[in-house]
Amino acid sequence: MMTDAINTNNRIKAPNQPLEQRAKNSANASSGNATASPASAVVDLSSSKMLEQMEKLPEVDSSRIESIKTALANGEYQPNPEVIAQKFAEIESLLS
């Protein structure tokens, strides 16, 4: 029976320090840091920032959307190609 040797060159080396000691060191480091905050505070901050950004968005005019959908379906909506091109250019400039 022939076998190939196992290649161990790319294995991640385990730390020499026992898990309990690493946990203690981590706890000591975070307790000495007065600016550390719990993960829930970070989540709350992110949620409040997201809510603040959503409040800045313009409101959706559902009746206008429906009228445009109806006009499109009936072939009555004639979009201005120059305005569309300008908006695409604006979006493209934001991406680059």
The model's pLDDT over 46-58, given as tens digits with 9 standing for 90+, comes to 788 888 888 888 8
Contacts of 36 (CB under 8 A, 6+ apart): 30
1: in domain: no
| Parent domain of 72 | 61-96
- Is residue 22 within 8 A of residue 15, CB to CB? The reply is yes
Q: Tell me, yes or no, whether 56 lies in a domain.
A: no
Whether 77 is covered by a domain: the verdict is: yes
Alpha-carbon span 44 to 51, nearest angstrom: 10
81 is a domain residue: yes
3-state SS assignment for residue 34: coil
Q: Does any domain span residue 76? A: yes
Total domain count for the chain?
Answer: 1
Q: Which residues contact 25 (CB under 8 A, 6 or more apart)?
A: 17
pLDDT in tens, 57-73: 888 888 999 999 999 99
